[in-house]
Structure 1
């Protein structure tokens, strides 16, 4: 077991990586190096020395002699420990098939799923799915907003914290933000299911829930979501949701004290010019704003 003993010495830090690679040049140590890395992430439980000493003093000394573990068995335990770490590391390295995408403020990302379906992820959004299981189960999780162009095939499901959307092959937009859930169908048909609602959407229909309550299933007239053209559009949407979207598209913290944030807003704002965007939102509501760095304050202005 000379090689195994050398590996154990290397694993314990008694033998350097350069030494063991030079001693066994034909071996591939890449997996062992990863295993050693993961093993170092485990922390040893802390021991209360004073409590342990007190416990020791209270013990009786009329106990049988402890059994001596043979040296070979100790070596076996070390090898077993290495194998456990190898198996654990192998799972994370080779069997974790979760694929995830994330966007930050003012970022969008376009990518293709394994079935050639296309997804465009809007700002401050996350999406993940199991790549290995995709052929049997086209199932993914979304937090934020995304536009989907789904190829025809088996059932395609988008899961959100507010509800799920199922299609076979179509184009649709899903927006799930805090206390806001909206689905728009652009092509084909979309099944939307929440805790209390189940609706089949046809092209040109939108489903909207605010604060977990169904607001409307209504018509809309657009070929694509406006955010694909760097613009956010709203139709009778509460001001607080418009403010949230401004913060998703610009690096801002917006406050609106003494303002009714449930007032409904219809309109749009650009993603390319902060002042124009703020004016587009505040002027129709007879509001004004102040900018201080990344902080913006909305307030009522007094007409002369």
Structure 2
């Protein structure tokens, strides 16, 4: 999309000559994707040079400061048709469609000079309400970042960690989550995303519909509806999963559910929920069938119930580290 802040950053660096080789290649690929991308790039570059002429000097190589100056110049100027100097000649962007693209793009581009807002959940999960009315549940050790003008021109956010989103409808500005290698776009729905480090990004849709794609590859988005899940890795297209994990949002709901799953899967869910480590000394124990439901789970209580129903012994070796034996 033209509001992609990452591409705006690459354009700014390219204009100033500070772009790296890898970034240059990424920008070139984006420009080839759609003619409107090239038109957007050309207009910003030409307008930048016109602003530089007004300063009677070429801008120094400080992207943030220069775009701040550029923003102030445009904001104080009287509205007028945009005349663009292009490769030594002048031309008028008369087409209404192109003009609309450029006008919208410049507004979003200037937003980069604004401050970003960062929301963080450290040791406990937290609930936040975004400026557009959307609600975000952040799991512990997770952060969310968005521009302070969020909801005015776009609804782009960046997630590191895990979150559950209850998105307020807005047909004008889609809600876009950038998390790891993924990009998730919605108008109004609820879904969970898990994006930790180099692990695959996982998505679970609870209500509505989302478009899930790899943010670094040219491929069609995977459209998912309520009750469906998918994963994506850095070098691959998104892949739909055959079933959803009932414990995907256990951290938010404070509820763990196991319906005839291997004991190993039970322990994996407990590790995620409690932030502990569970070691199974005997591999034969990992495949034991288990079922049970725990509301407001407590680790000691769960271990007592599991040990009694599966005839295993669970010992705490050190703080937060448990061993499972016959």
Residue pairs, 1:24-35, within 5 angstroms: none
1:3-152 matches, within 5 Å, as: 97-105=115-123, 107-152=124-169
**Larger helix proportion of the pair:** 2
Q: Which residue of 2 aligns with 1:67?
A: none
Point out the structure with max Rg over C-alpha.
1
1:206 to 229, 234, 243: 229
Give the structure 2 partner of residue 252 of structure 1. 276
The 1:201/1:274 distance shift into structure 2, 3 A limit, reads same
TM-score by length of 1: 0.52
The 1-side partners of 2:263 and 2:304 are apart by 14
Match of 2:255 among 223, 231, 241: 231
Instruction: Note the residue ranges of structure 2 that are not aligned, 5 or more in a row.
Output: 1-64, 66-112
Name the counterpart of 1:193.
Answer: 213
CA contact 2:316–2:323 (8 Å) conserved in 1 = no
3-state DSSP of counterpart to 1:218: coil
SS in 2 for 1:276: helix
Q: Is the partner of 1:115 in helix, strand or coil?
A: coil
Normalised to the residue count of structure 2, the TM-score between the two structures is 0.49
- Cα distance between partner residues in 2 of 1:198 and 1:279: 45
Does the residue aligned with 1:152 lie in a helix, a strand or coil?
coil
| Farther off after superposition, 228-237 or 180-189 | 228-237
Residue 239 of structure 1, CA deviation: 8.2
Q: CA 1:103–1:241 in structure 2 vs 1: closer, same or farther (change >3 Å)?
A: farther
Counterparts of 1:230 and 1:297 in 2: how far apart (Å)? 21
- For 2:269 and 2:235, the matched residues in 1 are separated by 18
Deviation at 1:274, TM superposition (A): 0.9
CA shift for structure 1 position 192: 0.7
Q: Give how far 1:160 is off.
A: 0.9
Pairing 1:171–2:190 present: yes
